[in-house]
Chains A and B, each alone.
Chain A
Amino acid sequence: MAAFVLRRVLLMIPTLWVIATLTFFLMRLAPGGPFLAEKDIPPAAKAQLEKAYGLDRPLGQQYLSFLTHAARLDFGPSYKFPARQVREIIFEAFPVSLELGLWALLFATLIGVPIGVIAAVKQNSGADFAAMAAALAGVSIPNFVLGPALVLGLSLTLFLFPPALWEGPQSRILPVLTLSTAYVAYIARLTRGGMLEVLRQDYIRTARAKGLPERKVVFKHALKLGILPVVSYLGPAMARIVMGSIVVETLFAIPGLGRHLVNGAFNRDYTLVLGVVLFYAAFLMTLNLVVDIAYTRLDPRVELS
C-alpha cells in the first residue's frame, strides 16, 4: 500500500510539469497582455511594467523562472491584482469552492443514490422511468436557468434566502441546489447501472434463495458494491465541481476558484491562471488516489496494481 501511494505521488510530478509547460505556453501565445485598461498607458510606463514583471525577458528565461518558483509554491503576484499573491488568492478561494462542492455532491448523493436504487430494483417499471426522468430533468435544465429561477422564486418573491453572496448558512442553500441538480442525474444513473450489475450476481441470488428479505439483500449486500461506480465518479467529480461551478459562482457572486480561473483567462492574468491550473491538477490527482484507495476498501476483489 505504501509503495503504491508513493509511486502515485512520484508520478504526479512529471504530469504536473507537462501541465505547467502546456499552460504556460498556451497563455503566452494567447493575444492580449495583462496591462490594458480603458485609460491608455504611455509606452514608457508600459515598458516599465513589463520589466517589473519580467515580461521583457526571453520566453525561455521566463519559463525557467516560472518553474523554479512554482516548485517552491511561489506563483508570484497576480498580474491583474498586483497587491495580491496568487498563493493567497488560491488559499482564500479554495475553501469556498470546496465547501460549495462538498455540499452539492453530498446533496446529490443523498438524492441520487436512492433514486438509482429504486430505479434499479424496479427496473423497467413506471417507477424506474419516473425516477430516471426526474433525475434527467436536472441535467437538462442548465444551471444558468435554474439559478435565476430559484432566486426569483425563493429569494426575491418569498424572501426565504439571500439572492447572492456567501455569508451565513442560508446563503448556501440556493447555490448548492443549483449546482447539485446535474450531479443528481449522473449519480442516479451510475447507481442504477451499478446496482443492476450487482443484482445479477450469483451471490445475490444465493442470498435471495436463502430467504433474506429483499430490503436486506439490496441494502446490506448489494448496495456496498453497487455504489462503486459512484465512488469512482465522486473523485473526479469533486475536482470538476470545484472548477466547473463557474456559473453558480457568477450568478451568486461567490468568491470561488472557478470564477478566478475564468476571469484570469479573460484578463490574461498569467500567474493566477498558471497557479490555479496547477493547483487543480494536483488536487484532481490526489482525489483520484484517494478514490482508488477507497475502492479497495469497498471491493475486496480489486487489487492495487
Chain B
Amino acid sequence: MSGAAPAFAPTADAGALASSSRPESLWADAWKRLRRNRAAVCSGIFLLALGLLAVSAPWLPGLANPTAQDLRLGATPPSSAHWFGTDELGRDTLARVIHGGRISLLVGLVGTLVSLVIGVSYGAVAGYRGGRTDEMMMRAVDVLYSLPYIFLVILLLVFFSRSILMLFVALGLVQWLTMARIVRGQVLSLKQQNFVEAARALGAGDGAIIFRHIVPNTLGPVIVYTTLTVPAVILQEAFLSFLGLGVQPPAASWGTLVSDGARLLALFPWLVIFPGLALSLTLFCFNFLGDGLRDALDPQDRREVS
C-alpha cells in the first residue's frame, strides 16, 4: 500500500519568519526541534547503524556467505553456532538477515531515488509552467492513479524481466505520482515569491529557475516524503516476493525471507521472527523518523515554540 498523501501546510510564509524573536534559518530551527523528538533520534541512530552493518556485511567474519548450504543440517533453532538458527537448506539465518538487509535497503533507497527524480522533475515542471501544460500533466497523473498499481508492477516484471534493475524501476514508477503532486503544490505557491521574480529579472532561464531556485525550497516536504517512501518501497518489494516476483534466488531480501518463513511459522518460527523483526523495526524507524521530520519542518508549529 503506498503511503498516504500527507497533509502539508503551505511553505514558510515570510511573515512568520520575520516575527520570530531570533532570526534563525529554517534548517537550524528544524534540526533543533528534531533533536528534541527522542523517538525520531533513536530511529535515526538505528538506521545509521543498520546502514553501516549492511554496507560492511561482505567483510564481516563468519557472516560473509549467506548462500552456503548444509543439507544434512537442515533447519535448526537458534544456537551458539547459529545465533538466528538455520533454514531448510542449512543456511545461516543471521547471515541471510544481514545480507537481506543490504538488498532491502538498496531496493528501498534506489526505488525511492527513482521516484524522487521522476516525481520532483515532473511536479516542478508542471507547477512552474502552469496553465494548459500543468492541467494536462496532472490529468495524466490522475489517469495513472486510477490504474491498480500492483497490476502495473506485475506486468512490468512479467513483461520485462526479473532483473533487480527492473525491480527498481518498477517500484520507483509506482511511488512518483504522490511526489509529483506534492512538489507541484509547493511549486505553485512558491513561484509567486519574490526571489523567483528576482531571478527572472536577472535573466535566468526557466530550467535554471526551476531546478536551482524553486526545487531547493521544496526540500522540506520532499525530504519528509522521501523518508516515508523508503519503507513503502521495502514493503512493496516484500509483497512482490510473496507473489514470487521480487528479488530472485539465491539473493534474498527481507521480503523473501519473511514471506517464505511465514509459511513455515508452525514448524520453524525463527525463520520468520528474526527477519520479521529486522524488517518491522526498520520500517518502524523510517516512519518515526519521517513523522519526526515532518513535525520538525512544519512551520505552523514554529510559532508555538519560538
Interfacial residues, chain A to chain B (CB-CB below 8 A) = 15, 18-19, 22-23, 26-27, 29-32, 124, 129, 132-133, 136-137, 139-145, 147-149, 152, 156, 182-183, 185-186, 189-190, 193-194, 197, 200, 229, 233, 236, 240, 243-244, 246-247, 258, 261-262, 265-266, 273, 277, 280-281, 284-285
Least CB distance, B5 to chain A, in whole angstroms: 7
B284/A136 in contact, CB under 8 A: yes
Which of A129, A247, A285 has a CB less than 8 Å from the CB of B242?
A247
Task: Assess whether B258 is in contact with A145, with CB atoms less than 8 Å apart.
Answer: yes
The answer to whether A142 touches B288 (Cβ under 8 A) is no
- Determine if B300 is an interface residue (Cβ-Cβ < 8 Å): yes
**Bound: A5/B150 CA distance, A:** 29
Is B7 a contact partner of A139 (Cβ separation < 8 A)?
Answer: no
Q: Is the CB of A149 within 8 A of B7?
A: no
Q: How would you classify the secondary structure of chain B's contact residues: helix, strand, loop or mixed?
A: helix
**In the complex, which residues of chain A have a beta carbon less than 8 angstroms from the beta carbon of B276?**
141-142, 145
Q: Contacts A141-B276, A193-B7: A266 and B147 contacting too (C-beta < 8 A)? A: no
Which residues of chain A have C-beta atoms less than 8 A from B37's C-beta?
Answer: 124
* Chain A residue at smallest Cβ distance from B280: A140
Given contacts A156-B266, A182-B1, A200-B300, 17 further A-B contacts (CB under 8 A): A26-B159, A133-B39, A140-B231, A140-B280, A142-B239, A142-B258, A142-B279, A144-B262, A148-B263, A152-B266, A200-B304, A240-B1, A258-B150, A262-B150, A262-B154, A262-B243, A273-B151
| Measured CA separation A27–B1 after assembly (Å) | 23
Q: List 5 A-B contacts (CB under 8 A).
A: A141-B280, A144-B262, A229-B7, A243-B151, A266-B158
Q: Does residue B146 face the partner (Cβ distance < 8 Å to A)?
A: yes
Per-position binary interface string of chain B over residues 228-267, scored 1 when its CB falls under 8 Å from any chain A CB and 0 otherwise: 0001000100110011000000000001001100110110
The smallest C-beta distance from A266 to any residue of chain B, in angstroms, reads 7
Contacts of B155 in A (CB 8 A): 26-27, 30, 265
Given A142-B239, A145-B276, A193-B6, the answer on whether A243 and B148 have CB atoms closer than 8 Å is yes
- B287 contacts the other chain (Cβ, under 8 Å)? yes
Among A132, A147, A183, A266, the residue within 8 A (CB) of B291 is A132
B7 and A194 within 8 A (CB): yes
CA distance A31 to B158 in the complex (A): 8
B81 CB-CB contact with A under 8 Å = no
Are B158 and A277 in contact, with the CB atoms below 8 A?
Answer: no
B34 within 8 A of A: no
Inter-subunit contact B9/A265 (CB<8 Å): no
**Contacting residues, chain A, for B14 (C-beta < 8 A):** none
- Distance in angstroms between the alpha carbons of A189 and B304 in the assembled complex: 21
Q: Are A285 and B235 in contact (CB under 8 A)?
A: no
Query: How many residues in B have their beta carbons less than 8 Å from beta carbons of A?
Result: 46
Query: Smallest distance from the beta carbon of B44 to chain A beta carbons, Å?
Result: 15
Q: Are A285 and B146 interface neighbours, CB within 8 A?
A: yes
Give the most central of B6, B148, B255, B279: most A CB within 10 Å: B148
- Which residue of B9, B142, B287 is within 8 Å of A15 (Cβ)? B142
With both beta carbons as reference points, the residue of chain A lying nearest to B148 in the complex is identified as A243
Interface residues of B in 140-190 (CB under 8 A from A): 142-143, 145-148, 150-151, 154-155, 158-159
A194: chain B residues at CB < 8 Å are: 7
A residues less than 8 Å from B4 (CB atoms)? 186, 189-190, 233
The CA of A280 and the CA of B145, in the complex, are separated in Å by 11
- B 266-299 binary contact with A (CB < 8 Å = 1; else 0): 1000001000100111011001100100000000
Residue of B nearest to A232 (CB): B5
Chain A, Cβ-Cβ closest to B294: A193
A124 to B297, CA, bound (A): 15
CB-based nearest A residue for B4: A186
- Inter-chain CA distance A139–B239, complex, in Å, is 13
Cβ contact within 8 Å between A15 and B151: no
- CB contacts (< 8 Å) of B9 on chain A: these are 197
B226 to chain A, nearest CB (A): 17
| Chain A proximity of B165: nearest CB distance (Å) | 18
Known interface pairs A30-B158, A145-B262, A197-B7; A244-B1 also in contact (CB < 8 Å): yes
Closest Cβ of chain B to A120, distance in Å, is 12
Chain A residue at minimum C-beta to C-beta distance from B152: A26
User: Of B1, B150, B287, which one neighbours A136 at CB under 8 angstroms?
Assistant: B287
Within 8 A of A (CB), among B2-16: 3-7, 9
Among A124, A200, A246, A265, the most chain B Cβ lie within 10 Å of the Cβ of A265
Q: Which of A143, A145, A189, A193 has the most CB of B within 10 A?
A: A145
